[in-house]
Structure 1
């Protein structure tokens, strides 16, 4: 495909990714501008360099350089990082081109389809990830799971203690949980051994 056709395909894809998917679902205008800018910028650079001898390593080179960019103004969520690299990949594929001619549009379509399905609100809607600060130093794992289930009002799947402050009576935990009501709470099996039981198949019985 010629450069004009690929430019049109790139613009159509990035507008669909940004306005059709990201803005409709997450409503962050600043990142929408970032996605548009990175896509068009990468497409322009890739188009200029695609005729040189560096074509073979151009894609990996640009990915390597751009992947070290750190946006210090705000913290990005993982789904926002996924959109960021999708915009970058679409720009690279469109700018470099490929043979046969149908391969580039097919790859762009694949990226859009994966983002549409993967970020759809109906895909695992009940699962959450949150950083929780408890106003109590909780050292027992069974008690920690029970307390988190009460606070979050759902089924706790995993909890990683980041800080246990016995002086200030505080516990900081990274929690993965579902918003569905808890079907089972962690309970100790016997002295010296704690077993955590749940009816949720995603959270199997564990022993510690």
Structure 2
């Protein structure tokens, strides 16, 4: 009976992870399908391996986790937060399939994953800190001038500006920029002047 409770809890957990956290925040539909497919696939395979009589189910399940965790989709580039959701979906699948001494331990670990992802991926926690590859239409080698240009362009404080390429022929500079957005000042709304309609 506890096995079915654990499986049900895992399905609820991955649904919360994908539909409650990831999709409302990042709106990438193709990865929703990938997260569910990877999670349920790992859940099914790890569950079958855990009940095998060879006694290698747990080891093979962990090996499966290690192999799948380093898979990167080559057809599209994944951001690091999307990789983190892949890790979370894989971990939930294993926790839902592998039987431990206490079912509450697995349930607690599932809840821990959801709580951590809820907090660390929240926009208000580190939303002001940004990273971007910037291409300037000038060849800039002086660091002080480069930082000044980037801060003017970004409208914030530059913490790191790593030169990736300087093209002296085409006059361009490619920079990996880590910067912080400055809170924009609210400007008072300008009242439009009232014009009197000419009398007929």
Q: Secondary structure at the match of 2:103?
A: coil
Gaps of at least 5 residues in structure 1 are 182-208
Gaps of at least 5 residues in structure 2 are 184-200
Q: Deviations over 1:113-167 (max 9, x none)?
A: 0000000111022110000000111011111100100111110000110001112
**Equivalent in the alignment of 1:186:** none
**Equivalent in the alignment of 1:5:** 5
Query: How many angstroms does 1:98 deviate by?
Result: 1.4
Q: Which structure dedicates a bigger proportion of its chain to helix?
A: 2
Distance 1:89 1:127 in 2: 28
Q: Secondary structure at the match of 2:169?
A: coil
**Equivalent in the alignment of 1:45:** 45
Which of structures 1 and 2 has the larger relative contact order (alpha carbons within 8 angstroms, sep 6+)? Answer: 2
Query: How many angstroms does 1:68 deviate by?
Result: 3.6
Q: Secondary structure at the match of 1:89?
A: helix
Aligned residues: 182
Contact 2:164/2:175 (8 A) holds in 1: yes
Contact 1:3/1:47 (8 A) holds in 2: no
Q: Deviations over 1:96-125 (max 9, x none)?
A: 121122110000000000000000111022
Larger Rg: 2
- Between stretches 146-155 and 52-61, larger displacement belongs to 52-61
Q: Secondary structure at the match of 1:10?
A: helix
Q: Deviations over 1:54-92 (max 9, x none)?
A: 134234301222134221221111111111110010001
